[in-house]
Each structure stands twice: as structure tokens, then as C-alpha cells.
Amino acid sequence: MSINERIKQRFGLPTQTGLNITQNKTLCDILGHRSCRTYKSDAVPQELVQTLLAAAFSAPSKSDLQQVCVILIEDRAKQKRIAALSSATAWVVGAPLFMVWCGDSRRIRRLAEYRRHSFANDHLDAFMNAAVDTGIAMQTFIIAAESVGLGCCPVSQVRDQIDPLSSELALPKWVFPVAGLCVGWPDEAGRISLRLPLQTTVHLDQYDDSDLFHQVANYDRRREAAEQTVPDQQRMVQQLGVSSDYGWSENRTRQYSVSARADFGQYIRRQGFNLN
């Protein structure tokens, strides 16, 4: 499939974008990303895992601070306990390879003390730098893994029960989980999830969402047609009823109408971060 065809598939819109771009496997892999939640039982070879991790830790790092760590879960009993922390993560138990990507501000703080330097950046930016670096490294791992045929799915729901998760991982101060990641050989192809059009997410010179509702309404219709959501698949029907206009925006605003992980800020502060 050409780059142009991949872009059409991703956004569900006619476009000339990519027609004149030389065929490129990396671009095609990224455009063809599919979240994978069901896996074959085959293990991922250790040498391959280490190679993919080497690629991940080659990602950009803010000021070369390298504030990322990853915890590979080889203990299957521990993986089951983590999977059981939330009803939304029960499927995690089936992943041949499961890991948790963490922001790690502990390393540089310990080194500052060891080198007898003050740590003058104990504020919100220190947390943000570690969190952003972790997301970049995890995404780099995903791109590398999908390039060799593996399927991946990040799992933010591991933070639904943050204290039990932190205990399972024995996380010390200034280390915090960003997301779990399931990895394995796909058992099924999965589907392409349509994305918002670039006119909604890309701004020129300044932010402008003056046409947001019209753009999202059209996007909702495309997703409805692609996903064919039926009433019993709608979210929170008992509380909010069945919607005749159940597109992406209705689904996701229903999701965000219920508080989730409201304790995460308190947890981050207990981990030693000053969020001011």
C-alpha cells in the first residue's frame, strides 16, 4: 500500500498528500499503526527485546538527562496481579511481553547529591521533563517493535490503582509509572482507528479552533460509518441513554464526564515531586 493510500486509510478522507513521497517502510509502518490486544502464545526472543530497548533509549532526551526507566515484568504472577488491578486491564494477562514505562527523576537527583551539587529544579518542569521523555521513549519502542511485525498496546489504565501498582513495582521516590505496554506477535490484524483531520490538529502561526464543531461532526460521521457502533456498545447508557448521534466526540466526552485517577496528583507529590 502506498503512502498516499495509507494516509487516506488513516483519516478516511480523499487527499493528494503523500502522492509524491518515495515509498518508505518507516512511514508506512507508522501510518499503519494498529493497537494490538490479542497475541499468539509465542515468546518474543530476548535478543530482540534488548535490541528494541536499545532503539527506544536512542530516542531524544531533554538536555540529555535520560530520565526514563522501564520495568520488564517476567514474573507471570506479578503480571496477573497488575492485570487484575482494573477491570479494564484484565486482557493484559495474555501479553507474552509486558513492561511498565516510568519517568525517573531519581537517578539525576541521586547523582546531584553524589556529586555534591544542589538540585535547583525541584518544580513542575522536573516532573514534566521525565514524563515527556518517557512517552517519547515508549513510542520509539513501539515504532521499532512494529517494524519487525510485533503488535503493541500502551495501557494507561495500569494507573487506575496507582498505589498497588507502585507497590508491585517497588517504585522509590521520584519514579512514577507513565503507562504499561503489552507486546507480542499479533493474533489478528486489528483495525485502523480513524484520526481527527489535520485541519483540526495542525494550526498555522496561532491556535484556531473556530471551526471545531463542524470539523468534529464530520469526523464523527466517518467514525460511525467505519466502526458501526450499535446501542449496546455505547458508553454509560443507563446514566445518559442511547444517543442517535454517537460518534467519537460523544463517546469520549461521556468517558471524561466521570472522574478517573483523581488521586494521581497526590501520588506524584508523595513520590517527592514539587508540582508548583
Give the residue extent of every domain in the chain: 1-32, 33-190
pTM, rounded to two decimals: 0.94
Query: Which residue, 112, 156, 128, 159, is CA-closest to 273?
Result: 128
pLDDT of residue 87: 87
pLDDT tens for each residue of 85-104: 988 899 999 999 999 999 99
State the pLDDT confidence band at 228, using cuts at 50, 70 and 90: confident
- Span of 20-24, 140-144, 243-247, 249-253 with lowest mean pLDDT: 243-247
Q: Is the pLDDT of residue 229 over 70?
A: no
Mean pLDDT of 118-126: 95
pLDDT of residue 230: 66
Count Cα atoms within 13 angstroms, Cβ side, for 142. 22
pLDDT of residue 17: 96
Q: At 176, phi and psi to the nearest 5?
A: -145, 145
Homologous superfamily of the 33-190 domain (CATH) = NADH Oxidase (3.40.109.10)
Tell me the C-alpha distance between 186 and 89, whole Å: 18
State the pLDDT confidence band at 233, using cuts at 50, 70 and 90: confident
pLDDT of residue 129: 97
Mean pLDDT of 207-219: 97
Average confidence score pLDDT of the chain: 95
Query: Which residue, 261, 215, 271, 224, is CA-closest to 246?
Result: 224
State the pLDDT confidence band at 231, using cuts at 50, 70 and 90: low
